[in-house]
Structure 1
Amino acid sequence: MIDLPITEAHLRTTLTTYLDQHPEEKPGLAPVLNLLDSGADLTVRSEFRGHATAGAILAGPDGRILHVHHLALHKWLLPGGHLESTDDALLEAALRELTEETGIPAGAVSTLAHRPVHIDVHSIPANDAKGEPEHQHIDFRFLFRTTADVGQLQAEEVTGAAWRDADTIGDQVLRQRVTQALQPRQA
């Protein structure tokens, strides 16, 4: 099987499928569709009007959510990061970022949904060391479960990891969706 990088069509399909499920978010995500319509390549990090990233929400057996302390931003965040040319799907990119940052093997992680649980657009501050101006991340966030614990952290990007209650997730919409998805199903 030949790996093909994530395409504009994959981004568009993922975004429109998500918006079909969450039509109330269309106004906030319209700028992303406009960027795609303009021909912007949202898969490359050098597109500073906005580029896609992949995030992972990882729930442990007790329902707590894994957070990592991000070295460059000096904040506790959910695992995730930039797309790479070897990624052929956003879900795969989220899982790759999760395993790279936390050392948890991919085989110890199960996917709870093949669609994003949330798509968030947020500003990233300028980074003079990397020659990057302030820019936008379009974060496609996927929900996973594991029974494994954190392994070797990716020291270049992550300085710590902690399991926290789901109610500590800062984004209210994401917190609500994660909490709902993790509730036991009624028979």
Structure 2
Amino acid sequence: MDGPAGKPRRCAVIRGVLWLYVPFVTVTNNAVIGMALKYIEANPQERDLLRSLIVLALHGPPIVTPTTTPAHVTCRVALVSVDGRVLHTRAGGRSWKLPGGHVDGADQSLLGAALRHLAAQAEVEANGLIPASVLPVDVTPHPVDAVPTRDEPEHVHYEATFLLRAADGALEQPTSRQSSRRWVSIADVRGKLGDKLRSEAARSRV
């Protein structure tokens, strides 16, 4: 049986009744739609970028579940220091990037998912961090290549980036050898996100 987004769903027949398995998630599609609509209100020029996300969330399976195709939501953090630098992390020799990843079924919110990844990947806890908003500063769709070995088709990550500021002295050095992090100047952050971070930095200095 195929779900509305073309993804096979697990089902079983018990005593003549067809049961359809849908993963349980705390962050509902309605919550994602609400976030998207508020984000569009603040960024009306990006309406077309998020239109497909809203349609999928209205008619499809849980939009935050990592197995949902053709798209699902991921979260990350843009953590900015008091001197205007942005935290990047690296694991297993991969490229440097903002800490983030998929939403877990136990995450209470998209921001909560982003904070969980920040703690796991950079050893930075939420204490001492100041969120700019409960809404993401940026939402951008990114195409993801298929992974045949995992039976994973091509799909899209709608990456929600939350802006947080670190209070002076709030960050300690990581204790794990597996945790690698570095700070990058806001001036070196590219694309739409970089423009928004620089705009927010200029606004905070006023």
d(CA) in 1 for partners of 2:77, 2:176:
15
1:170–1:150 Cα change, 3 Å:
farther
Secondary structure at 2:96's aligned position in 1? strand
d(CA) in 2 for partners of 1:31, 1:182:
30
- In structure 1, the residue matched to 2:122 is 102
**5 Å matches for 1:29-40?**
29-40=50-61
Match of 1:52 among 65, 69, 73: 73
Structure 1 residue 143 corresponds to structure 2 residue 195:
no
What one-letter code is carried by the residue in structure 1 that aligns with 2:66? R
d(CA) in 2 for partners of 1:34, 1:12:
9
**5 Å matches for 1:96-135?**
96-135=116-155
Residue 31 of structure 1, CA deviation:
1.3
Residue 179 of structure 1, CA deviation:
1.2
Secondary structure at 2:124's aligned position in 1? coil
Secondary structure at 1:26's aligned position in 2? helix
Q: What CA RMSD, in Å, does the superposition of the two structures yield over aligned residues?
A: 2.1
d(CA) in 2 for partners of 1:125, 1:152:
34
d(CA) in 2 for partners of 1:103, 1:51:
26
Secondary structure at 1:43's aligned position in 2? coil
- In structure 2, the residue matched to 1:76 is 96
Structure 1 residue 178 corresponds to structure 2 residue 193:
no
CA contact (8 A) 1:70 1:77 kept: no
Residue 70 of structure 1, CA deviation:
4.8
CA contact (8 A) 1:63 1:166 kept: yes
Residue 56 of structure 1, CA deviation:
0.3
- When normalised by structure 1's length, the TM-score is 0.86
Q: Deviations over 1:63-95 (max 9, x none)?
A: 1001122548x3221111100111111111111
Secondary structure at 2:31's aligned position in 1? helix
- In structure 1, the residue matched to 2:41 is 20
Higher-Rg member (1/2): 2
Match of 1:66 among 87, 94, 104: 87
d(CA) in 2 for partners of 1:127, 1:69:
21
Secondary structure at 1:106's aligned position in 2? coil
Q: Deviations over 1:21-45 (max 9, x none)?
A: 1111111211111211222321111
- When normalised by structure 2's length, the TM-score is 0.78
- In structure 1, the residue matched to 2:6 is none
Residue 154 of structure 1, CA deviation:
8.8
What one-letter code is carried by the residue in structure 1 that aligns with 2:145? P
- In structure 2, the residue matched to 1:5 is 26
How many pairs does the alignment contain? 178
Match of 2:63 among 7, 22, 42: 42
**Which structure 1 residue ranges, 4+ long, deviate > 4 Å from structure 2?**
none
